[in-house]
Amino acid sequence: MLLVNPVMSEARSINVAWDPAADGAPAPGLNDSIGVLVSGGVDSSVALSRLVAAGYRNVSAWYLKIWLEDELTSLGQCPWEEDLEYARSVCKALGVRLNVVSLQIEYYDRVVSYTIEELRAGRTPSPDIFCNERVKFGAFLERVGERVEWVASGHYGRVVPAPGRVVRAPGRGGHAAVSRGGDGDSYRIAHRPGMESGKSERVHLYRACDPVKDQSYFLSHLSQEQLARLLFPLGTLPKRQVRRLADRLQLANRNRPDSQGICFLGKIRYPDFVRHYLGEREGRIVDRERGRELGRHRGFWFYTIGQRQGLGLSGGPWYVTGKDVEENVVFVTHGDRVNDSASDTVRLEELHWIGAPPEDPGERGLSVKLRHGPKRIACSATGFDSAGRRLDELGASHHITLKLEEPDRGVAPGQFGVLYSGERCLGAGRIACGDVAGSPDMVHYSERGARV
């Protein structure tokens, strides 16, 4: 009796060649120029392999060097050389030209400086959101955008043309490629350099099929112009299949573990990075409800709302539930009482909409991610300014208030709330501090005597 290994059977059944039509994604022409962002990791290597296997003839690979070696060498091992070696090995095996682009200055100016300022203000930054918007699909396209028509990556997300809409992606080509929209109809993706995208020329960003690996949270700040040029060959694959494809293809990095944490830190511990820029300042850890001091800390900037680990307190579990920036105090709540500090109301400011906001703020199927991960919370939204304009008329200078169906105890000011309508990512707003009814005070500025 012949025994079949189910793992190998599944691996053989996966189509290596990417079929964008089957994914509902924009379909480049076979001669279009496609720049693939590679990191030396498994995901970007499999994405590159799928494009090559699909027969695209003008594929190039691009490694973005963003490691801040001059700033951070003293903190740990420089990881980019190892990453680049893996990227070279994969590209050589596939016969793809590898280019190295240094974006260290851009990364520091657009991402690292933002991260430091947010920490100094007592907020929790989301650097990976701005890394995608401002560097990987921002500064990179500014630098080499004339050399590639499409940009592909190993991100877990899906770009789909909006039903009935025409999307024009700037590039060198002048022909059109046909794709399929989310409802199965055909749509034309026209490449016409210099043409501006209008409201009728829409793409949608959808969650990846793997809810754990889905990265739509980190892609939520991308613009229509950026998304219209992006290809995500892994969007419909679960992570286990990506790993099995890498093994089947015998990629040099097939056994390499996934990277963790912020992309530019490599093997450096996040607290060491924070200490390098902000130093240490001893302060009190205080029981929020009872007002008694429980311990000492080395700077409020090392802590975020909802944090449990690294407090060094006995008799726990203890959770961070607030910070006083001016007095350098970290407030904690015991696990027995922490649900009392959970919030069912969240205010989002500095709004960014990928496309059109929901026409009905209370529509069914609206949900929010308050942090990266698979969990979404069903919610309704209200947003009106003094002129009475509705949610769909509000711009970046306004805010919306979310009513959560399930209270959350880790609402961290500075992080982003990412909104979804069903599986579609609508956009994001920065979480403001607790200054609406039902929302707890989380960050205080004693000198001002007000919350921010």
| Residues taking part in catalysis | 131, 263
Please report, as a single letter, which amino acid is at residue 107. Y
Q: Cis omega (within 30 of 0) on the bond before 357? A: no
The DSSP annotation for 380-409 comes to EEE---TT---GGG--TT--EEEEEEEEES
Among 85, 79, 447, smallest CA distance to 268 is for 79
CA distance 272 to 289: 31
Among 2, 109, 89, 103, smallest CA distance to 48 is for 89
CA distance 10 to 248: 11
User: Pseudo-torsion of CA 277, 443, 310, 75, nearest 10°?
Assistant: -10
CA distance 417 to 402: 10
DSSP summary character for residue 250 = T
Residue that the structure tokens 């209370």 belong to:
362
Phi, psi of 84 (to 5 degrees): -65, -35
- For 449, residues 6+ apart whose C-beta sits below 8 A from its C-beta are none
Which two three-digit tokens encode residue 365? 């199927």
Distance of CA 343 to the CA centre of its chain: 23
Which two three-digit tokens encode residue 328? 């350098």
**Could you tell me the end-to-end alpha-carbon distance of the chain, in angstroms, rounded to an integer?**
70
C-alpha dist (Å) from residue 277 to 80, 121, 252: 21, 13, 36
Q: In what order do the strands lie in the sheet with 329-334?
A: 293-297, 283-287, 329-334, 318-324, 443-445, 450-451
CA distance 62 to 144: 10
Residue 302 has, within 13 A of its CA and on its CB side, a CA count of: 23
CA distance 372 to 374: 7
CA distance 66 to 105: 8
CA distance 45 to 49: 6
Residue 37 pairs with which residues in a beta bridge?
62
